[in-house]
Amino acid sequence: MSEFTVLNPATERPVTTVAQADAEETDAAIARAVTAQQAWRAVAPGDRAALLRRFAAAVDAHIGELADLEVAGSGHPLGQATWEAGHVRDVLLYYSATPERLIGKQIPVPGGLNVTFHEPVGVVGLIVPWNFPMPIFSWGMAPALASGNTVVAKPAQLTPLTAIRIAELALDAGLPEGVLQVLPGQGSVVGQRLVDHPQVRKIVFTGSTEVGSQVMAGCARYIKRVTLELGGKSANIVFADSDLDRAAATAPYAVFDNAGQDCCARSRILVQHSVLDRFMELLEPAVKNVAVGDPADPGTEMGPLISAAHRQHVASYVPDGAPVAFRGSAPDGPGFWFPPTVLAPVGADDPAYTEEVFGPVVTVTPFEDEADAVAIANDTPYGLSGSIWTSDVGRAIRVSRAVETGALSVNSHSSVRYWTPFGGFKQSGLGRELGPDAPDAFTETKNVFIATD
């Protein structure tokens, strides 16, 4: 049996080793999930809801432990990791309301009545990336379970620890064996098997556009349902009429949150030409004040990158001679550190401007007017997120409608909430997660005609 050593990204020291599942073990887990699903879908809605609430309570009772695991295994700052563990609890509680609300319609027709039912799809394969191991795991897992499906989840090789622990908590809370299984292993082995196996009826994948495209092609073989959350290259658009102080003060957190390893990172700041100089004066201290350091320190705002290989990848976007306007700080010594970095001015063909860096690197580009801002924002194959800063309500709405992206914020740098839909336009993905309609993606609508004549 092969093992993977999880490293602490802040120290480069081993945290623990995790056994890696192979294709046969994946098949066995899928078989258990198929069996368990027959019983799970038959659990009375109120009882399924109660089990999910007990699961949420078990997570709540272990928030500190889960946060510590994420600090050690993923390098997330303690405050963020604590929030993330609480988020898993909240997502479970939100979707614990689903079982009792999975109601259909009755449609009068000549000679009878049609009724509709929301039937679970069956076994759901959940493929989770390393950047937000807890939240992204919960976004697929909670609505899938609530809708009567069973779940086989593959965490990222680099960051499996919290998902493994959360699945143990599910068992402790009384979820039956086989309803939620976490299978650590390689994407090309476990993830691929989930995609290829005919009895996995839906895949929820979050990760790179490249692998997402392969997953989608694999799902085509069995017309498997698929939700994809992929990359982003989002714009933070700052108009001259905005509260420039707030826009500049929050811009670092819009892109350097989780060390920039965030598909929603606003990694292109677009600033109206007339206020560019003033904006840069305000942005510089904001960037330099980001507290980068030991993730276990409660005051830390930004931790290390996930791995040495990823740091090398991020560094390739800031080669010698790159147009660095200014940078924040980062610790020396062990750990995969990279300082917050602002690039300006950048050429339109600079990879830091055109590609998803997935690290703490942001570009600043001026624009002339509203039409110019929208054109620049949309000049990317991605369309996941973004922000608009303006005091003109009409402009806020016009630009929101014109930017081709799934989750926008006006005069704010955050746009992801579990009770609102999340997902991308263009190559940023397919389908929507979160929000009240998420269970629709985990059920099939069945339509039954009942003759009355």
Positions touching ligand NDP (CB under 6 A) are: 127-131, 154, 156-157, 186-188, 191-192, 195, 206-208, 211, 214-215, 229-231, 263, 356, 358
Q: How far is CA 119 from CA 11, 100, 142, 444, in A?
A: 47, 13, 16, 5
Taking the complex as a whole, how short is the minimal distance between the CB of residue 170 and ligand NDP, in angstroms? 20
Q: Would you give the DSSP letter of residue 433? A: B
**Least distance in Å: CB of 80 to ligand NDP?**
15
Query: CB of residue 163 vs ligand NDP: minimum separation in angstroms?
Result: 10
Q: How far apart are CA 395 and CA 447, in angstroms?
A: 44
Strands 341-343 and 361-367: parallel
Whole-angstrom distance, CA of residue 318 vs CA of residue 320: 7
Q: Which one of 70, 219, 263, 356 is the catalytic residue? A: 263
Write out the two tokens for 73. 């295994």
Q: Dihedral sign, CA of 325, 413, 263, 4?
A: positive
Considering beta carbons, is residue 150 or 258 the nearer one to ligand NDP?
A: 258
Nearest to 289 by CA among 258, 325, 253: 253
Residue 168 bears catalytic tag? no
Identify whether 219 is a catalytic site residue.
Answer: no
In whole angstroms, the minimum distance from the beta carbon of 77 to ligand NDP comes to 18
Residue labelled with tokens 């068992």: 171
Q: Which is nearer to ligand NDP, 138 or 157 (CB)?
A: 157
CA–CA distances in Å: residue 227 to residues 106, 213, 287, 429: 29, 11, 35, 8
Report the C-alpha gap between 143 and 129 in whole angstroms. 18
Map residue 262 onto helix, strand or coil.
coil
Residue nearest to ligand NDP (CB): 187
Rounded Cα gap, residues 303 and 286, in angstroms:
17
Q: Are 326 and 287 in contact (CB under 8 A)?
A: yes
Nearer to ligand NDP, 114 or 208 (CB): 208
Core vs surface per residue 16-52: b (16+ CB within 10 A) or e: bebebbbeebbeebbebbbebbeebeebeeeebbebb
Distance in Å, CB of 41 to ligand NDP, minimum: 26
Q: How far is the CB of 292 from ligand NDP (least distance, A)?
A: 20
Which residue lies nearer to ligand NDP by CB, 207 or 339? 207
Between 279 and 358, CB nearer to ligand NDP: 358
Q: Which of 70, 84, 219, 229 is catalytic?
A: 229
Question: Cα-flanking dihedrals φ and ψ of residue 270, to 5°?
Answer: -110, 125
Q: Which of 153, 161, 225 is nearest to 182 (CA)?
A: 153
Give me the least distance between CB of 196 and ligand NDP, in Å please.
9
Residue 417: CB atoms within 10 Å: 12
Catalytic residue numbers?
229, 263
